[in-house]
Amino acid sequence: MVVGDFPEERDTIVIGAGPGGYVAAIRAAQLGQKVTIIEKEYYGGVCLNVGCIPSKALITIGHRFEEARDSEHMGVKAKEVDLDFTKAQEWKGGVVNKLTTGVKGLLKKNKVEMVSGEAFFVDEHSLRVIHEDSAQTYTFNNVIIATGSRPIEIPGFKYGKRVLNSTGALALQEVPKKLVVIGGGYIGTELGGAFANLGTELTILEGGPEILPTYEKDMVSLVKRSLKKKNVEIVTKALAKSAEETEDGVKVTYEANGETHTIDADYVLVTVGRRPNTDEIGLEQLGVKVSERGLIEVDKQGRTNIPNVFAIGDIVPGVPLAHKASYEAKVAAEAIAGEKAENDYTVLPAVVFSDPELASVGMTEKEAKEKGIDVKASKFPLGGNGRALSLDAPEGFVRLVTRKEDGLVLGAQVAGINASDIISEIGLAIETGVTAEDIALTIHAHPSLGELTMEAAELALGRPIHI
């Protein structure tokens, strides 16, 4: 319950305490603002509680289990490898709790006032917070909306005991024997792949012609090959029609190639996208411009058409990524403080934690050519890297996209183990205007996966050593 006496006015109020909201609140406080953050459910948002973090923990559990069973070729033999999924879920929960507790600690350290409840706008300088059986009015000079998004529910697949969204899948207390995933994007591929590593018989139904459609074909082919080894069935151009819950499972009906098919499974996981949480906070009271999809229109600083109202993260145009929200959060807080900050998405990385991992940043070769830039794409295989071989992970590559005239790094695509880490060096290279020669002249530790970037740069220069 909200209790106590509150000053009438805050410098800045932040609505939502996810990766966008809590970062905005901390940065605003660091810049001298008096900040209140309002959260209706859990600190850390979807990402830390029921998204990014627990899903990566589940992926790690899957990898450990798979490695324990399948390392005989390295001379490691394990008999009767068992999975205590209850203990695995407890470990996952511990990771989440450590991070969410840390978020509250950081907010407290930066003297951010934390308020529980649901926020509803009254006008452009005030809002009401409702918590249980009480309500409190807050006034503010500026507000940052960071309310995030929620899973889309599609016709015929009402969420319930056997029809799950990503939150429900992560909360399962058993490993499904059979699982159907509807949607072959990054969430479906990640979670489906994690359960496949734990022994689940998996079917992925994708409405389009390809899973992971935002990644290049040679990257996706590696993931498909890995899934095939796990006996995963991928059905593309599939239209999911309905899910009928039975006594001990669910029957999924779909259409493909002009025919109707059914699959019996323990659960069905629906991962077809997310909807911005902008429909129940009273935006109509402000006159904030919102698109047909519910996305709030903002400028390069995250400012809406109402000068003191800002919006960040999943509720504004662009890809719904946690690191994008955190980046926009800092820009919005700095803009409120009068700094000349604005969003620039040139170096926004995208990662999918599949097997193997995929990551990209900057431009692809195709995108560069469409802009009339003469580029060179240099692809170095992980099979030529000593560290990748010693990790028993030779699948994948690092591809640098460089401008032919001067070797300026414009983009990169990485497929393979730790792609999510490797991509950061290349992102920094693009941000700082580095050339392939600069990377090649930088001494990289041996043996390391970091050498892959150096090798790709040497390939771009036409003088590779290990290929």
In this prediction, residue 2 carries a pLDDT of: 42
Q: Are residues 39 and 183 in the same domain?
A: no
Average pLDDT over residues 271-292: 96
Tell me the catalytic residues: 446
The whole-chain average pLDDT of the chain stands at: 96
Q: Are residues 146 and 168 in the same domain?
A: no
Q: What share of the chain has pLDDT > 90, as a percent? A: 97
Dump the DSSP string for 262-292. Answer: EEEESEEEE-S-EEES-SSS-GGGTT--B-T
- Whether 249 and 162 have beta carbons less than 8 Å apart is answered as yes
End-to-end CA distance of the chain: 65
Counting Cα atoms < 13 Å in the Cβ hemisphere of 293 gives 14
Lowest-confidence region among 131-140, 171-180, 408-417: 131-140
- Whether 144 and 21 have beta carbons less than 8 Å apart is answered as yes
pLDDT of 109 over the 90 cut: yes
Kindly give, in sequence order, each residue whose CB lies less than 8 Å from that of residue 59, ignoring residues fewer than 6 positions away: 190, 193, 194, 197, 353
Does residue 347 sit within a domain? no
Does residue 182 sit within a domain? yes
Report the alpha-carbon distance of residue 3 to residue 36 in Å, rounded. Answer: 15
Last residue of a domain, one of 257, 272, 287: 272
In this prediction, residue 88 carries a pLDDT of: 98
What pLDDT band is residue 133 in, cutting at 50, 70 and 90?
confident
pLDDT of 4 over the 50 cut: no
Binding site per annotation, positions for NAD(+): 183-190, 206, 273
pLDDT of 62 over the 90 cut: yes
149-165 per-position pLDDT tens digit:
999 999 999 999 999 99
Does residue 158 sit within a domain? no
Tokens of 131: 């918590």
Q: Are residues 225 and 301 in the same domain?
A: no
In this prediction, residue 1 carries a pLDDT of: 37
Report the alpha-carbon distance of residue 430 to residue 151 in Å, rounded. Answer: 33
Q: Are residues 142 and 284 in the same domain?
A: yes
Tokens of 426: 């290349």
Q: Are residues 60 and 126 in the same domain?
A: yes
Tokens of 94: 């511990």
In this prediction, residue 168 carries a pLDDT of: 97
Q: Are residues 449 and 421 in the same domain?
A: yes
Q: Are residues 376 and 326 in the same domain?
A: no
38-55 per-position pLDDT tens digit:
999 999 999 999 999 999
CATH number at residue 403: 3.30.390.30
- Whether 26 and 17 have beta carbons less than 8 Å apart is answered as no
In this prediction, residue 247 carries a pLDDT of: 85
pLDDT of 143 over the 90 cut: yes
Q: Is the dihedral of CA 74, 78, 82, 88 positive or negative?
A: negative
Counting Cα atoms < 13 Å in the Cβ hemisphere of 1 gives 5
Last residue of a domain, one of 272, 303, 325: 272
Q: Are residues 404 and 261 in the same domain?
A: no
In this prediction, residue 9 carries a pLDDT of: 81
Q: Are residues 255 and 293 in the same domain?
A: no
Give the predicted TM-score (pTM) of the model: 0.95
Q: Are residues 204 and 175 in the same domain?
A: yes
CATH number at residue 264: 3.50.50.60
Q: Which domain holds residue 90?
A: 9-150+275-336
Does residue 17 sit within a domain? yes
Last residue of a domain, one of 228, 256, 272: 272
Does residue 4 sit within a domain? no
Does residue 466 sit within a domain? no
pLDDT of 255 over the 90 cut: yes
pLDDT of 8 over the 60 cut: no
Binding site per annotation, positions: 56, 147-149, 183-190, 206, 273, 314
pLDDT of 76 over the 70 cut: yes
437-455 per-position pLDDT tens digit:
999 999 999 999 999 999 9
Number of domains in the chain: 3
What pLDDT band is residue 361 in, cutting at 50, 70 and 90?
very high
In this prediction, residue 5 carries a pLDDT of: 46
Q: Are residues 182 and 141 in the same domain?
A: no
pLDDT of 210 over the 60 cut: yes
pLDDT of 3 over the 60 cut: no
Nearest Cα neighbor of 104 from 40, 43, 18 is 43
Does residue 346 sit within a domain? no
Secondary structure (3-state) at 96: helix
Q: Are residues 290 and 360 in the same domain?
A: no
Q: What share of the chain has pLDDT > 70, as a percent? A: 98
Does residue 444 sit within a domain? yes
In this prediction, residue 391 carries a pLDDT of: 98
